């Protein structure tokens, strides 16, 4: 089973491109979605978050925007949050890989924002990054309602786009039309078949 690792800066189009791979029959594990599930009411991360970040969990419900604001102004707090979340996300990834292997999948995709930063690149056969100009990236994330200062703080915590492009085995342009991205996805899949 070939394991593809997909990454890219916030809002650069990972989820959109992951859906393009899914349309070709390549199932996708989404690390952000795993984080959301683990942090949802009743989720496995809730007790640890309530202990580590008092006041962010009320009646078993995590206030995500409160936690986001807190960790974005305090590096040590972000490291504590990552230390709680990353092993849990890794466990979910393992479950996904095992299920895909048992289902005789030929290829799977792992969509991981911190693929290079957190070492996930070592667990995949090929690395792919989506990439678009910074102004396009910021405009897309602003549309979701995230304040500019928080967007810039998140971008500052991530590996620069140029470095991701240098390190990745494949680069998918997402600043142009979706047609361009779809074509790049097709090329990667054709390359896998060789």
Ligand X SMILES: Nc1ncnc2c1ncn2[C@@H]1O[C@H](COP(=O)(O)OP(=O)(O)OP(=O)(O)O)[C@@H](O)[C@H]1O
Q: Which residues bind ligand COD (CB under 6 A)?
A: 10, 31-32, 35, 64, 67-68, 71, 78, 81-82, 85, 89, 113-114, 154, 157-158
Comparing CA positions, the residue from 134, 10, 138 lying closest to residue 68 is 10
Comparing CA positions, the residue from 1, 39, 7, 33 lying closest to residue 128 is 7
Partners of 61 in the beta sheet?
58
Shortest reach from residue 58's CB to ligand COD, in Å: 15
Q: Which is nearer to ligand COD, 68 or 123 (CB)?
A: 68
* Residue 120 interacting with ligand X (CB under 6 A): no
Cα–Cα dist 116/189, whole Å: 22
Decide: residue 96, CB within 10 A, 0-12 exposed, 13-18 middle, 19+ buried.
middle
- What separation in angstroms does the CA of 13 have from each of 38, 99, 160, 192? 23, 26, 16, 22
How many CB atoms are located within 10 Å of the residue 59 CB? 5
Is 12 annotated as contributing to ligand binding? yes
**Residue 27 corresponds to which tokens in the numbers above?**
């199932």
Among 27, 32, 46, 153, binds ligand X (CB under 6 A): 32
Is 143 annotated as contributing to ligand binding? no
How many CB atoms are located within 10 Å of the residue 66 CB? 14
Shortest reach from residue 32's CB to ligand X, in Å: 5
Is 145 annotated as contributing to ligand binding? no
* Region from 7-15, 44-52, 62-70, 159-167 binding ligand X, contact rule CB under 6 A: 7-15
Is 60 annotated as contributing to ligand binding? no
Shortest reach from residue 19's CB to ligand COD, in Å: 15
If contact means CB under 5 to 8 A according to the sort of partner, which of ligand COD, ligand X, none does residue 8 touch?
ligand X
Site residues, ligand X (CB under 6 A): 8, 10-17, 32, 113, 140, 174, 176-178, 181
Q: Which residues sit in the known binding site for ATP?
A: 11-16
């Amino acid at each position: 089973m070939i394991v593809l690792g997909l990454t890219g800066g916030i809002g650069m189009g990972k989820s959109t491109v992951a859906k393009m791979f899914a349309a070709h029959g390549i199932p996708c594990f989404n690390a952000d979605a795993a984080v959301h599930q683990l942090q949802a009411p009743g989720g496995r991360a809730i007790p640890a978050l309530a202990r580590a970040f008092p006041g962010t969990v009320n009646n078993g419900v995590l206030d995500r925007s409160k936690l986001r604001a807190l960790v974005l102004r305090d590096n040590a707090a972000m490291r504590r949050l990552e230390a709680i979340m990353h092993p849990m996300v890794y466990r979910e990834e393992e479950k996904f890989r095992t299920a895909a292997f048992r289902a005789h999948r030929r290829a799977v995709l792992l969509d991981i924002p911190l693929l290079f930063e957190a070492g996930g690149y070592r667990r995949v056969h090929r690395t792919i990054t989506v990439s678009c100009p910074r102004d396009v990236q910021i405009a897309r994330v602003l549309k979701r309602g995230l304040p500019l200062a928080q967007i810039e703080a998140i971008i500052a915590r991530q590996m620069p786009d140029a470095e991701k492009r240098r390190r990745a085995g494949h680069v998918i342009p997402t600043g142009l039309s979706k047609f361009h991205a779809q074509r790049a996805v097709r090329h990667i899949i054709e390359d896998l078949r060789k």
